[in-house]
Amino acid sequence: MAGKFINTNKKDLISNAVNNVKKSLDNIFPLIVNEKLTIVDYYSVNEDRTVLDVDGTMDTYEIIGKNSPIRYNEIKDLPIAGFDKIIAQIENTDMGIQGNEITGEITLFPDTVKAHVNDMFVIPYLKENLVFQIVEVQYDTLDTGSNYSRVQYTLHGGSSKYNQLKRQVVETFNVIIDNIGSTGFKAIIKSEFYTMIEKFQNYTVTLKDYYKMLFYNNKVQTFTFYNTKKDTIFYDPYMIEFLKRNDILTGATDYLSIQHQCSLHQTFSMDYNNTFLRCVEKKDIEKINKYNVIVVGELIRDITSIFNTRIEDYYKITYKFPDTLINYMPMNIIEADLIRRIKELDFYTREENLYLNIIIKFFNDIDLTDDDIEAIDNISYNDNILMYYYIPIVIYCIESFIKNILVKHEDK
């Protein structure tokens, strides 16, 4: 499955981790970048839920077992560097060996996991799940301020230890490998949020694919819509700008490059600032009525554009009503009722309109729910003017919600 925020194709995990880390840390941390990566499930000691002796020790307890006081956070799909150096030992060793006969060193990437003694990580091997224990930790800091760990480990046990380890898990997290090295998004999030993001992202992929199917015009290699009442094909450079600057179609099933297909007026940027699309970007609910939602079409006469190669006429959306336009009919790209509902926090109740509650919640800073997202299943996908504008706006609102979950906060 494609996607902007989470790569759900497991076979791409390692290659994506390598590419991403190389891109962001190439000149900063070549020692990690040049080592082979291995994807593991990592078990980090949960210090808040672990009960120690009065003197702060746990020497009298087993680390993994029914009497262990240690509780763990499970972190799925964590990339580590350097583990491949021990693979040969494992492959050439009888599976009945003792844990302390296999030791080694791995590196944990910056800003992923802060390692602790008695952390564990698990590697599947043949029919076993091999459990490795962290026995020594060395912390270091990059010039950028990012922290990383080099740790010594030893083999702790096999599947029986793994099964007990799972019973000591109190919280579960997932790694978003593409975010490792990112300065803006978290690389590790709680599994409940990961599942939510994955679901929401899948719906945005569906919306993106439908949008391309409905409105991508191969003849002119851009997005257009047909107005049956006017028997006219329209092209909106402001929508193209919205798609481009917000990467709206990034993560669709098939990649598509989006470019302006006709020259832009010298006041284009200022005109864009007065569109409802800019209102969405600014989330400007207070001044929502000042943004233009009424447009007209102006015949494209740009001889340098691809439209000039076509027999049929194309009209460019404009928010200005030039004197040269004769017998034009203004069009509403956003329904007045939707704007009213945004301002008054008045949700839709009719099934076919429930998906528009996503826009209402976005403007009013209300979290989305599964019901909101699943309302997308009830959309009647028609190639009309409203769908031309509503689908990208809904995508933007959903992805803004996802970004709010992923964004790093300095106080955390």
The pLDDT assigned to 142 comes to 74
The pLDDT assigned to 99 comes to 43
For residue 40, the cross-strand partners are: 78
CA–CA distance, 258 with 260 (Å, rounded to integer): 7
Q: Are strands 169-175 and 331-332 parallel, antiparallel or unpaired?
A: unpaired
The pLDDT assigned to 102 comes to 84
The pLDDT assigned to 143 comes to 72
CB atoms within 10 A of CB 192: 12
Question: Identity (one letter) of the amino acid at 406?
Answer: L
Measured CA to CA in angstroms, residue 251 lies from 3, 211, 297, 315 at distances of 4, 13, 31, 29
The secondary element (H helix, E strand) that includes residue 13 is: helix 13-25
The pLDDT assigned to 226 comes to 93
Whether the CA torsion 102, 107, 111, 115 is positive or negative: it is positive
The pLDDT assigned to 328 comes to 65
In sequence order, the 6+-apart residues with CB closer than 8 A to the CB of 273 are: none
Whether the CA torsion 382, 385, 386, 388 is positive or negative: it is positive
Mean pLDDT, consecutive 10-residue segments, the chain of 412 residues?
A: 67 56 48 70 94 57 88 95 69 48 87 91 88 93 77 92 96 91 85 96 96 96 91 95 97 92 93 97 96 92 92 92 65 96 97 97 97 96 94 98 83 38
- Residue ranges with strand state E in 30-158: 37-45, 72-81, 103-108, 120-125, 128-141, 147-157
For residue 76, the cross-strand partners are: 174
CA–CA distance, 89 with 102 (Å, rounded to integer): 7
DSSP letters for 155-166: EEE-HHHHHHHH
Measured CA to CA in angstroms, residue 297 lies from 46, 319, 398 at distances of 61, 9, 30
Contact of 329 with 230, CB cutoff 8 Å: yes
Query: Where are the alpha helices (H) located in 185-307, listed in sequence order?
Result: 191-215, 237-245, 268-272, 276-282
- What are the tens digits of pLDDT across the range 135-158? 999 988 777 677 788 999 999 999
Whole-model pTM? 0.86
Measured CA to CA in angstroms, residue 402 lies from 6, 194, 208, 395 at distances of 11, 10, 16, 11
Query: Where are the alpha helices (H) located in 300-381, listed in sequence order?
Result: 336-344, 357-363, 370-374
Which tokens in the block code for residue 399? 């992805």
Contact of 223 with 262, CB cutoff 8 Å: no
DSSP letters for 249-261: TTTSSS-------
